[in-house]
A and B are shown apart, each in its own frame.
Chain A
Amino acid sequence: MTQKPRAMRDALLERIWMAMAHDERIFVVTADFGSPVLDRIRADFPERFVNVGIAEQNLINVSAGLSLEGYTVFAYAIAPFITMRCFEQLRVSLGLLSTVRPLNVNLIGVGAGYSYVVSGPTHQCYEDITLMRSLPNFQVLSSADHVTAAAFLDRCLQESGPKYLRLDAQPLPVVYTPETGAPDLARGFHVHRRGGPVALVATGYMLHSALRVADALARDGQPLGVIDMFDLCRFDRAALLHELSGLSGVVTMEEAFRSRGGMDALFFDMIAREDLPLKILNVGVEGGYRFELGSREELHEAVGIGVEGVTASVQRFLAKVSGHNAALADGFAE
């Protein structure tokens, strides 16, 4: 049965809470950020829980110290703060140090993209994919629903090393159902739809937008592929290349500044390195920082990543791609 949507953090923390009962190595550290399930962890495992206060730099350094002593650490805070307030601690105490000493520190950042809708740019987070992917030994995982967020625990417990888990602050519709099967962490991505010359490749909340864009265009008789990228570093590259083969174009969709090194850069890099015959359209936040108010959908439309705007630009992209194909079929050079 398809699960009801719930908060990603609670789905993940609940699995952590269950694992703590039989794994004494698990330690949870928070920077004064809570959740109902975190209350249970605090109550049931006070010896393996600590709140460092509003102090993200110390959150990371303390986590590094705990992990040096053998703990598997989950450090929990709001996404922009756990990635940016303490970026040099991430680099030095986790990134650099974990190349020499085994460290298992898992950052749980809540509030990807625009998920703190009314809080404005301080609490929204459009830079984390770029920044966290820039640290070479970090893994970056980004979930579109709570089922995926909960599944991330397996990776955290099975593999040492620093990881960033990028969670939405809002409960999002469930995309992993008995029909789709569980998200396959070893693959790192999931193909939700196949068909048409173009695939929409999305991460986090934007997967839901991609599905809506695909629905809208399917009604127009234009089928599209839809792929969820939930592992932004360690996805099965060969399997993804296989999925992309035969396509004419790819549309990347992320709640991140466009052309600033996010998932779009990842795909540009892959297309260039593999010399793929793919046209690419990048859907990302345009126009820099803004202080506008509105619903998440309204904010998305304002910065160029809303379903309506993206549907129109994908339509233009499809025309370009099919024109390209027609030209090739006619034997004309580009």
Chain B
Amino acid sequence: MTPDEADHLKSKAHWVWRETLAIHRRAPETRIASSLSPIEIFVALYYGGVLRFDPQEPLADARDRFIISKGHGSICMYPILADLGFFDREELMRVCMRGGILGGIPDPIIPGYETVNGSLGHGLGVAAGTALALARKNAGDQQAFVLTGDGELHEGACWEAIMFASHHKLDRLNLVVDDNRTSMLAHTKDVVSLGALDQRLESFGWDVVIVDGHDVEATTAALAAMKARREGRPKALIAKTIKGRGVPGLENEALAHILAPKPELLDALMETRP
């Protein structure tokens, strides 16, 4: 990646961060903290050349399938999809409003979303089924990506899919964990510890890499390398992130998920430059 490309990704990430705050400012019902941790992951996937997609034909067969399982934590996808032309930018002005398509939790009526999200623990299994189908029908080189949170991995169905994926050598399956280490009521280590998640996934037969999920350059490189590896194992990228990143009072706060920053704080933050 050239320095210019890296700067472009960084400025996109900052723009998405500001737009996400702006959406929350207009629609305080949205969950802000969990939408601030995966921003660089989405920017890397969509602007870093990792995912293949077509905004004009969101369900084109040649696309990579990207299932965003942690639905409410993906409000930051709205500006990205609008920017890429999946839908009209005007939609960003009516998030959570009657007549709009962008809700507090994204639904698959939004161009660019594949499945029903938000009820946690379903995306990984559906992505495993998708990856199995791509393998069995001898599709081209399309792959399946799925984003989960770390708290979501408390759902047992995830582990059914994790076992299934390695047994079937689903090397078209790419799991990205937004490891912000915080669920709704507390830090996950204090709820039910996931321990050394990388070792756990490796022991289940997965190919696992850890990255600083706020280093957009490193995240892009790790995602591209993960996509390129087709070695008979499902792949996971654990992105170490911070819930509520960049917002004082939310960062590293155990209850960040349910906190809403004051409007004046949001206004001040939106003025900041990278």
Pairwise interchain contact A65-B119, C-beta atoms closer than 8 A: no
Q: Which of the segments B13-21, B127-135, B199-207, B264-272 contacts the partner chain?
A: B127-135
The docked-state distance in angstroms from the alpha carbon of A96 to that of B109 is 11
Pairwise interchain contact A71-B133, C-beta atoms closer than 8 A: yes
Pairwise interchain contact A69-B122, C-beta atoms closer than 8 A: no
Interface residue tally on A, bucketed by range: 20 to 34
The docked-state distance in angstroms from the alpha carbon of A96 to that of B160 is 22
A55 surroundings in chain B (CB, below 8 A): 160, 163-164
B29 sits at the interface (CB 8 A): no
A57, A61, A63 — which one has the most chain B CB atoms within 10 A of its CB? A61
Pairwise interchain contact A62-B132, C-beta atoms closer than 8 A: yes
A-B contact count (CB 8 A): 100
A53 sits at the interface (CB 8 A): yes
Looking at the complex, which one of B65, B115, B133 makes contact with A93 (CB distance below 8 Å)?
A: B115
A68 sits at the interface (CB 8 A): yes
Mask: chain A, 227-256; 1 = CB below 8 Å from B; 0 = not: 000000000000000000000000000000
Q: Which of the segments A44-52, A138-146, A185-193 contacts the partner chain?
A: A44-52
Pairwise interchain contact A66-B116, C-beta atoms closer than 8 A: no
A202–chain B nearest beta-carbon distance, Å = 36
The docked-state distance in angstroms from the alpha carbon of A47 to that of B129 is 13
Pairwise interchain contact B161-A61, C-beta atoms closer than 8 A: yes
The docked-state distance in angstroms from the alpha carbon of A326 to that of B38 is 74
Pairwise interchain contact B122-A93, C-beta atoms closer than 8 A: yes
A101 sits at the interface (CB 8 A): yes
A330–chain B nearest beta-carbon distance, Å = 58
The docked-state distance in angstroms from the alpha carbon of A75 to that of B168 is 18
Looking at the complex, which one of A48, A61, A92 makes contact with B129 (CB distance below 8 Å)?
A: A61
A97 sits at the interface (CB 8 A): yes
A62, A63, A67, A97 — which one has the most chain B CB atoms within 10 A of its CB? A62
The docked-state distance in angstroms from the alpha carbon of A50 to that of B132 is 10
Pairwise interchain contact A57-B156, C-beta atoms closer than 8 A: yes
Mask: chain B, 194-224; 1 = CB below 8 Å from A; 0 = not: 0000000000000000000000000000000
> 16 A-B contacts, Cβ less than 8 Å apart?
A27-B133, A53-B164, A55-B160, A57-B160, A58-B161, A61-B161, A63-B129, A65-B130, A65-B144, A66-B130, A66-B133, A68-B133, A69-B130, A70-B137, A89-B125, A97-B108
New A-B contacts (20) at CB < 8 Å, excluding given A62-B126, A66-B130, A68-B129: A48-B136, A50-B168, A52-B160, A53-B164, A55-B163, A57-B125, A57-B156, A58-B161, A61-B157, A62-B128, A64-B126, A65-B132, A66-B132, A69-B134, A70-B137, A89-B122, A92-B119, A93-B116, A96-B116, A97-B115
